Amino acid sequence: MSNMYPEYEGKTINFITGGCPHGCLYCYVKSFRFPLLKKRYSGKQKLDEAAFKKNLGKNNLWFVCSCNDINTIDIKWEVRILNHLRDSYPDNTYLIQSKYPPRFSVIDDSEFPPNTILGITAETDKDYDLSKAPQPADRLIDFTYLDTKFPKMISIEPIMDFDLVRFVELIRRVHPSYVSIGADSKSHNLTEPDADKTKELISELKAFTEVRIKPNMKRLIGDNIIERNDEYTCTCYDKPRRVLKWKFWEVTFQ
């Protein structure tokens, strides 16, 4: 999923080719501007055996299956991927992000790599019918009830207009370790919140979790964001050696 977002600076590893069944309107992978990507991620889903041979190193942050939704593939494939990461490269951190969180609850925590962050995308709490995935509010509710030892994150990207009170409450109930917020980068004419409302959301979220702002949010909230020069140290797995090269921007309000 993150290849939709060029400002993402973590590493991505894709074990699946073929089309993502969610078919989100704003999907970067489907863009005519990237024909090779579009070809690779169209048609029937298949395991890409070459990905299993890739050296993933140590102390890296990997976003797994960024061009698809790992929770939509054959569950045997998903467990194989997770076990491969767990057994062959246990010293990395893996972000496993989905728009179909019920799948997380049928895979035991022991199948995942030790440093896993489980994530969902919830662009809003409203139903804009831009995707075949479960509606964002349903994703948030399912994620709330997920019983797991792993930290949870929520990606609000691409952010769309929301009901402030409802959206904040749905997110609060998940108890996320952090929330990242990004904007539509490709002019899909999404219904976006205005700057004041977006800043209000950020303030409300900051009251109970960490909020990471992606650079493209500058378009929505202007000069309120400044670049962080430091590399981000993941608080989910807060070990000195685990400095993760995943750069976000800080938000400041004048």
Contact set with ligand SF4 (CB under 6 A): 1, 4, 20, 22-24, 27, 29, 67-69, 99, 131
Q: Is 67 helix (H, G, I), strand (E, B) or coil?
A: coil
Give phi and psi for 230, each to the nearest 5.
-85, 155
Query: Residue 167 is inside which H or E element, if any?
Result: helix 164-174
Do 162 and 140 meet the contact criterion of CB atoms below 8 Å apart? no
> Would you say 23 or 90 has its CB closer to ligand SF4?
23
Separation in Å, CA 139 to CA 91, 94, 148, 211: 29, 20, 16, 19
Residues 6 or more apart whose CB falls under 8 angstroms from that of 38 comprise 29, 30, 31, 32
> Would you say 123 or 251 has its CB closer to ligand SF4?
123
> Would you say 24 or 221 has its CB closer to ligand SF4?
24
- Give the ranges where 45-163 is alpha helix by DSSP (H): 49-52, 75-88, 136-144
Q: Smallest distance from the beta carbon of 210 to ligand SF4, in angstroms?
A: 23
Q: Smallest distance from the beta carbon of 235 to ligand SF4, in angstroms?
A: 25
Nearest to 115 by CA among 254, 25, 239: 239
Beta-carbon count within 10 A of 190 CB: 18
> Would you say 60 or 98 has its CB closer to ligand SF4?
98
Nearest to 250 by CA among 227, 230, 231, 229: 227
Q: Smallest distance from the beta carbon of 150 to ligand SF4, in angstroms?
A: 20
Q: Smallest distance from the beta carbon of 77 to ligand SF4, in angstroms?
A: 16
> Would you say 24 or 61 has its CB closer to ligand SF4?
24
Q: Smallest distance from the beta carbon of 68 to ligand SF4, in angstroms?
A: 5
> Would you say 67 or 220 has its CB closer to ligand SF4?
67
Nearest to 18 by CA among 45, 58, 36: 45
> Would you say 3 or 93 has its CB closer to ligand SF4?
3
The conformation of residue 234, written as its DSSP 8-state character, comes to: P
Q: Smallest distance from the beta carbon of 16 to ligand SF4, in angstroms?
A: 10
